[in-house]
Structure 1
Amino acid sequence: MPSLILQKNSGFTLIELMIVIAIIGILAAIAIPQYFAYIETAKAQTVSGNLKMAVDAVTNAFAASNNDVSTNIYSTLNGQSAHDVADPVYGSGTPAFVAATGTQTGQCGQVLIDAATISQAGPQQVTVMVSTTGCSGNLGTAIARACSAEGFIHAATTSGIIITQNGKVTP
């Protein structure tokens, strides 16, 4: 008499596949917002680093002006000495440091400086601030927090940071 051999198909059942897909969905729902928050924090920290670089450049330019040396702040910050720094929010092609002339607000993440050249003749003070105009999501708040953590409390507000000719920095 022939024996009947039952073969069992190996594979996944529909329920097992649905459980795996549900687990992947739950993990994605947790991870994706955290990833975007991480990206915002990284951009904000880069902006605060650019702010610190600008404040240092203006302070150094004032020190150089005491020795009768004139410094072009924008070529110093946006040029080769700063390795062609780009705005961390908008990327390449958008400068990280711009002139704050009149009512110009700049784009989100740009550092605004109200003096192009610093020399012995002037200006007597320079204001440096970070633009949060047009920031998406919580990026403006993240930039304000990162600047505040660097010690620049008013950097992302209308008052900005004031650097005087004697090198005093007022946050």
Structure 2
Amino acid sequence: MKKQGFTLIELMVVIVIMGILAAVAVPKLFGMIAKSKASEIGPAAGEYIKLQDAYVSETGLYVGTWSTIGYTMNGETPAFKYEDVLSVPQNKVSTDIPTTAGKAWKATAKVGLNECDKGSTWVLYLSTGANGNGLTWGAGVKDATSGEAAVLDMDDACSVLTPQFVNFRTQSGS
């Protein structure tokens, strides 16, 4: 008599192996999904810094709004809301470079990213560079439960997702 199919033991072994693989793979997958969503922060902030540095090089003592410097970031993506938080007087396209760190660019998480809660913030700050020339950049990252990011705040749960952004925490521009 010829047997076909699998025994109950063989099926149970396969199910156990699949369960172990799922238990290991699923958390890793969610981590990768969160990291991929957060990966847009670094390039978006880097582009803003380059454009603002170029604008300061051209104008000397002024920083500009998003449209003035040619920054084309969409205000929202599925994962983040981006804001131009540079303090520019109404009906103006540029303003003096602040002497102390002033907010310039902000991204707020619209979704939770692993341990980094919805509402967490990534903020770029700018101020006058050394000897009053160019710009000096600062960055801050804060989880939503801790309030808004200040210069050099680096919340571990959120900053670990955005290593490129963390590199902007102390950077001199033009």
TM normalised by structure 1 equals: 0.55
Identity %: 24
Higher RCO (CA 8 Å, separation ≥ 6 residues):
1
Determine the structure 2 residue equivalent to 1:57. 51
Question: Which amino acid in the other structure matches residue 156 of structure 1?
Answer: W
Give yes or no for contact 1:55–1:128 (8 Å, CA) kept in 2: no
Q: Equivalents in 2 of 1:97, 1:74: separation in Å?
A: 14
| 1:5-154 to 2 correspondences below 5 Å | 7-66=1-60, 72-74=65-67, 76-78=70-72, 87=77, 89=79, 97-100=82-85, 113-115=86-88, 118-119=93-94, 122-125=95-98, 127-132=103-108, 135-138=111-114, 140=116
Question: Which amino acid in the other structure matches residue 15 of structure 2?
Answer: I
Give yes or no for contact 2:82–2:106 (8 Å, CA) kept in 1: no
In the TM superposition, residue 129 of structure 1 has moved relative to its aligned partner by 4.3
TM normalised by structure 2 equals: 0.55
1:156 counterpart = 2:122: yes
Give the gaps of 5 or more residues in structure 1: 1-6, 91-95, 101-112, 145-154
Taking only aligned residues, the RMSD between alpha carbons, in angstroms, comes to 3.6
Question: Which amino acid in the other structure matches residue 97 of structure 2?
Answer: Q
Give yes or no for contact 2:106–2:122 (8 Å, CA) kept in 1: yes
Q: How many residues align?
A: 127
Say if 1:13 and 1:85 are closer, same or farther in 2 by CA, change over 3 A: farther
Say if 1:64 and 1:40 are closer, same or farther in 2 by CA, change over 3 A: same
Determine the structure 1 residue equivalent to 2:146. none
Q: Equivalents in 2 of 1:118, 1:163: separation in Å?
A: 18
Which structure has the larger Rg over C-alpha atoms? 1
In the TM superposition, residue 20 of structure 1 has moved relative to its aligned partner by 0.5
Q: Equivalents in 1 of 2:36, 2:13: separation in Å?
A: 35
Give the gaps of 5 or more residues in structure 2: 139-174
Question: Which amino acid in the other structure matches residue 17 of structure 1?
Answer: L
Say if 1:53 and 1:31 are closer, same or farther in 2 by CA, change over 3 A: same
Q: Equivalents in 2 of 1:134, 1:85: separation in Å?
A: 12
